Amino acid sequence: MAVLVGKKAPSFKTDAVTNGNKIVQNFSLYQYIGKKYVLFYFYPADFTFVCPTEILAFQERIKEFEDRNVAVVGCSVDSAFSHWKWLQTELREGGIKGVKYPLVADLSKTISENYDVLAGHYDYTEDGQSVFHGVPQSYRGLFLIDKEGTVRHQLVNDMPLGRSVDEALRIIDALQFFEENGEVCPANWKKGDKALKPTQEGISSYLSD
């Protein structure tokens, strides 16, 4: 598994569905550079079971991300047309209608490969034919990208394991607190907690309290 933390987020241009109903071409995360943080996450597939619980959970808390100047963007190996159809389907019928943030189409699987979350790999047969080994879907990868386009946090879960929106918000708070104050965040830190000055004196003071 590649560690992308500290590196520029892999770039791409592809189809996506925005605002829950509009298919756009050449969608790129780099439209946010210099303007917003990005929470970019992968999920295995449309019309599944755990995936809609995560997608809807992020939408339910979207204002909390917006208040932190964070754009939420989802991605799977499905086509933009599949995303669009799922977004038009009512919740009671297994859909995700009401989700407004972008869902990226990674039909070629190259985005998942570049972020190293694809559950499988391509190979070639003896006669030169391309074949895929494994499950042609993405693990539940999540990447926090700062306003300079650098990955500052990544998390990858296996497909049966849903993620925590609370933890995603906590990590964003920690990064922004560090950027604003220059203090580092200890174990289980959450907004409002005491942080650490990155000096021996600061650590000693924290531990003695």
Extract the tokens encoding 51: 């995936």
Domain that holds residue 176: 164-209
Four-point Cα dihedral 179, 172, 11, 61, nearest 10 = -150
Same domain, 103 and 20: yes
Within a domain: 4: no
Alpha carbons 2 and 7: distance in angstroms, whole number: 11
Containing 179, the helix (H) or strand (E) segment is helix 165-181
Within a domain: 42: yes
Any alpha helices (H) in 8-150, and if so which ranges? 50-60, 62-67, 80-88, 110-114
Within a domain: 123: yes
Alpha carbons 144 and 99: distance in angstroms, whole number: 20
Within a domain: 39: yes
Within a domain: 8: no
Catalytic residue among 51, 71, 75, 185: 51
Verify whether residue 75 is a known catalytic residue.
no
Same domain, 95 and 128: yes
Helices and strands (DSSP H and E) totals, the chain: 6, 9
pLDDT value at residue 121? 80
In the chain, how many domains are there? 2
DSSP letter, residue 105: E
Assign residue 6 a region (left: φ > 0; alpha: ψ between -120 and 50; beta: otherwise): left
90: three-class secondary structure by DSSP: coil
Same domain, 169 and 146: no
- Please list the pLDDT of the chain residue by residue as tens digits (209 residues): 689 999 999 999 999 999 999 999 999 999 999 999 999 999 999 999 999 999 999 999 999 999 999 999 999 999 999 999 999 999 999 999 999 999 999 999 999 999 999 998 878 888 888 888 888 999 999 999 999 999 999 999 999 999 999 999 999 999 999 999 999 999 999 999 999 988 755 555 555 56
